Chains A and B, each alone.
Chain A
Amino acid sequence: MSTIALALIPRAVALNLAIGAIVAALKLPVYLDSIGTILVAALAGPVAGILTGVTSNLVLGMLSSPIFIAFIPVTVVIGTVAGVASRVGGFRSVPRALASGLVIGLLAGATSVPIVLALFGGVTAGGTGIITIALRALELPLESAAFIASMAVDVLDKMLSCAIVAAVLVRLPRRIGARFGLPQAAA
């Protein structure tokens, strides 16, 4: 991995942790806490994306709560899928990015379900948990309720994250874009 890709990862990890301030100011019902992971995957490929995700969860484990360590498989999936999506042009426009976000959200949501089932009995405290409980009230089986709840939240979050990443990729200085092999939009 080139030094510049290596140097990009800590900035992206910090972005994952810092974007919360902007999300809170805008009162958006999402986290955007993988936006750095997706950005790195789009710029430097799946391996760099995975490293960003893993490091983010380790750092969160150290700074916030060890629980984040359990969700490392989810960030691995996000980094991998975003990296692959980028290679097939999944971030070349906002509609494409929304599609990429949909896929990433579905797969990430699916990956987190077994973790939530095994460690939390199927429901985590928070928005996703509330949706799960509501679905259980409608008599859906636990696995389905957890699945749908996780999917719903993750798909929205990842679609918005990917859309923002696509918008930002076009706004990068050409010099930097070229360093990462981005197809440059015509001036």
Chain B
Amino acid sequence: MIERLRRINPLTALATAVLLVCATYVVPAPIGPALTLGIGVVLSSLTGVGRRVAILAIAVALPTWLFLAVMNAVVAPEGDTIRVAGIAVAPAALVPAAWIALRLGAAVAALGWVVMMTPPLRLVHALAQRGLPAWSQYLLAASLAAVPEARRRAREVLDAQRCRGLAVGGGPLGRLRAAIPLAGPLMVSLVTDAERHAIALDARAFEPRGKRTSLVPVPDPKGERILRTALWALTVALVVWGFVR
């Protein structure tokens, strides 16, 4: 069963995550978020990304709780206060802060599960097979592919301009002025690149509004498609219930 879960179509995982996120915010705390967080953690562990998802969720939830705690319990205490080391602290404010952080953590865990379990392009391919038009496939895929190159180029611009004597330290005005010789070549070269990429797309018979077939199939068995429909329906029902309540 675990193997089957690991081979799940990314869209099914996405539908599951969206349902979990909705449940996190519609079902009252702490039951809702605790439940969805639990499910998210279980799904992550079963698919081998438990540790990374946990780290991501904690990295978002913990600082949020801390900042909220500092603001609502110490700096501008809400509710009854007690004195701790001479400062008025409102311990009751820690609880709603915790629920907010818990919800964030659960939502991040659910979406984080999909993202970490699925290579980004696989998600794009899965969408493509369900009819995503060529231009949006291109936007997502090409953006992902362009990031490492752009980061490299930013480092190269820094190197090249330092070699010409540009000092990146110094006072604020100097650093501000240095922004143009640094951001400038990076931005200009990326814009002129666009023309070459456009020619390359034309040369490969790319039709922005067209459909595309694919070499590597992302399996999408009928059972999963039915499951997805059910998940989306459940999500809608949940949202409606949330509004009605």
Interface string of B126-149 (1 = CB under 8 A from A): 000000000100111011111101
Residue interface bits B74-117, CB-to-A below 8 A is 1, else 0: 01100000000000000000001100100110011001100100
Instruction: Name the distance in Å between A175's Cβ and chain B's nearest Cβ.
Output: 8
* A65 and B183 contact, CB distance less than 8 A: no
- Measured between C-beta atoms, what is the minimum distance from A37 to chain B in Å? 12
**Contact across chains for B147 and A17 when beta carbons are under 8 A apart:** yes
B151 touches A171 (CB 8 A): no
Q: Does B193 contact A (CB under 8 A)?
A: yes
How many A-B pairs fall under 8 Å by CB? 195
Report whether A9 and B195 are in contact in the complex, using a CB–CB cutoff of 8 Å.
no
> Is B140 a contact of A172 with CB atoms below 8 Å?
no
Q: Interface SS of chain B: helix, strand, loop or mixed? A: helix
Size class of the B contact interface (CB-based, 8 Å): 35 or more
Q: Are A15 and B108 in contact (CB under 8 A)?
A: no
Query: How far apart sit A65 and B198, CA to CA, in the bound complex (Å)?
Result: 30
Contact A19/B75 with A6-B138, A6-B208, A25-B168 known, Cβ cut-off 8 Å: no
Residues of A close to B198: CB separation below 8 A: 2-4, 6-7
Q: How many chain A residues have a CB neighbour from B under 8 Å?
A: 62
State the Cβ distance, B103 to closest chain A Cβ, in Å: 8
| Contact B108–A10 (Cβ < 8 Å) | no
CB-CB under 8 A from A129, the residues of chain B are: 67
Contact residues, B20-76 vs A (CB, 8 A): 56, 59-60, 63-64, 66-68, 70-72, 75-76
Q: Provided the pairs A22-B154, A66-B111, A125-B64 are in contact, do residues A55 and B143 lie with their beta carbons within 8 angstroms?
A: yes
Closest CB of chain A to B106's CB: distance in Å? 11
Q: Known pairs A22-B179, A61-B115; list 8 more (Cβ under 8 Å).
A: A10-B142, A14-B150, A14-B151, A22-B186, A119-B104, A123-B64, A125-B66, A164-B187
Q: Which 6 A-B pairs have the closest CB atoms?
A: A125-B63, A14-B150, A66-B111, A10-B142, A14-B146, A18-B150
